[in-house]
Copies of this chain bind each other. A is one copy, B any other.
Amino acid sequence: MSEISILQDVHERNETLAQTLNQTLSKDTVFTVNVMGAPGIGKTSVIEGLIKRLNAPSAVIEGDIESDIDTKRLQQAGVTTYQINTGGACHLDVPLIADAINVVKPQPNSFLFIENIGNLVCPAEFMIGEHTKLLICAVTDGSDKPYKYPLAFEKAGIIVLNKCDLLPYVDFDEAFFMAGVRALNPSVKVVKVAAKTGAGLDEVAAWLTESMNALS
């Protein structure tokens, strides 16, 4: 039973630290978005597209097992980005984020995007100080995801349904997908997006701006 009690301790300690970090970020109106989604779902593309559309400064903390491909890409686009490599760990946690924030030093009245590890399972379990979780799915990955990975959908503040430019070429049952989403999270906003073309990103950016204004 020692393994279980240690796991509970890790979760509880993380929740407490997450609340404290969230209060600090709120005080400075740094609206913090925990971006979650499977590998290759388009997390970096969505973040990049949103930052272009937001009328406030933005910074990004990039979580990856290994590599700094996404960080280099964002830095080339002129975005302040800090890389975390977990070296195998499957999600980010508060101590990693707190260290990153000490380096990034987000400005007051800004957005902070935290791109979590590409994984629909583990990141959903750990708060990292965020004000909202932005969950990304894609029409290329089937319509059954809410049924198979319920926690991520239950905890999402907004859901981006990405790669909608490929809708004509795939079998995606939108009604089945939405029924699964609504059973877990009746009021969550769901936006159809194509990060490749930018379609739908204005609507997501407007929601984030509204949410940030509600904070201050």
Contacts and interface: CB of A to CB of B under 8 A. Distances in A.
B2 A148 contact: no
Interface in A152-206: 163, 165-166, 169-171, 196
A147 interface: yes
Interface stretch (A15-23, A35-43, A47-55): A35-43
Contacts of A38: 38-40, 118
A103 interface: no
A98 interface: no
A151 interface: yes
Interface in A110-151: 117-122, 125, 138, 140-142, 144-145, 147-151
Interface stretch (A59-67, A76-84, A208-216): A59-67
B140 A40 contact: yes
A140 B163 contact: yes
Q: Which of A66, A141, A163, A171 gathers most chain B CB within 10 Å?
A: A141
A46 B170 CA distance: 16
A149 B41 CA distance: 14
B69 A148 contact: yes
A135 to B, nearest CB: 12
A3 interface: yes
A140 B167 CA distance: 12
A74 to B, nearest CB: 14
10 contacts: A38-B38, A39-B149, A40-B141, A66-B148, A66-B150, A69-B148, A88-B121, A90-B122, A118-B149, A119-B120
Given A90-B90, A121-B122, 20 more contacts: A2-B6, A3-B10, A38-B118, A39-B149, A40-B140, A65-B121, A67-B148, A69-B144, A88-B151, A90-B119, A90-B122, A118-B120, A119-B121, A119-B122, A122-B122, A140-B140, A140-B141, A140-B163, A166-B169, A166-B170
